[in-house]
Structure 1
């Protein structure tokens, strides 16, 4: 089992995508690499803590490679907008890959080179991961009829999985 950390805007959207990928064992929403210890969602929303909203993806490397996860990640968010995904703006919504080892770093950088020079995705060593509050976990699956889920997450899932 390996672990990857991806930030691609609101973690609810990113979580919903990766939960539906074969070979992914679990997905956990949380916060990475900021200054505040044990931050809360309220702290993160200020944009002042330095954290990114991320998902921690545990995957079975015998079924799914890190490069395949990168393909999913870049196909399901806009990696060309700095500190923004749609209406979500701020450093907490930045596009980022937080790597655990040099192999992940190299694979991420190599993959990004194939995408062109407009990519603004940060590639940084994982410093710390804090799980988000329980109500953020499994958000789309628990709240499919919530307006945000219907208007933003469902179209993203339909676009990726039906194309």
Structure 2
């Protein structure tokens, strides 16, 4: 199964989910862009509508989408608009991007049962996903002292 999550800078979200048992593979990229295959510079310009996003491929026998959502909401502020930690801008908005109606319903049920107030995290169909440049992939593994707004200490 696949789900796409945006929670500020994609480096930390990817690193966090890379430690979760049942996650098979992660990659970072740009979701719901209004241009084909945007570059990091184009995404940062705010002209693409893209969001920094993590593709999560998981084993649904080992973990559920509800569990993934529990973990996701433990590392982001769902009420923050276009900001997570020190990351500010439209490309850093939080979002959950699904690819099928079953996941859409699971996500909506989760939101309805866990939040009383409206959250800023967008829940949308994934229109497109373009891999980010290779230097962004597994960035925090390659650069352990790199900036991350997510606390990874429980894994290290």
Once the two structures are superposed, residues 29-76 of structure 1 have per-residue CA deviations (whole angstroms, 9 ceiling, x without a partner) of 000001111100000111221011000000001101111111111111
Q: Counterpart of 1:157?
A: 152
SS in 2 for 1:119: coil
Count of residue pairs the alignment pairs up: 154
Q: Counterpart of 2:134?
A: 134
SS in 2 for 1:109: helix
Provide TM-score, normalisation by structure 1.
Answer: 0.90
- Measured in 2, the distance between the counterparts of 1:46 and 1:86 equals 19
Q: Counterpart of 1:83?
A: 82
Q: Counterpart of 2:13?
A: 14
Deviation at 1:91, TM superposition (A): 1.2
- The structure richer in helix per residue is 1
Once the two structures are superposed, residues 81-117 of structure 1 have per-residue CA deviations (whole angstroms, 9 ceiling, x without a partner) of 0111122111111110110111111111111122221
Q: Counterpart of 1:37?
A: 36
Provide TM-score, normalisation by structure 2.
Answer: 0.94
Q: Cα RMSD between the aligned structures?
A: 1.2
Unaligned runs of 5+ in 2: none
Unaligned runs of 5+ in 1: none
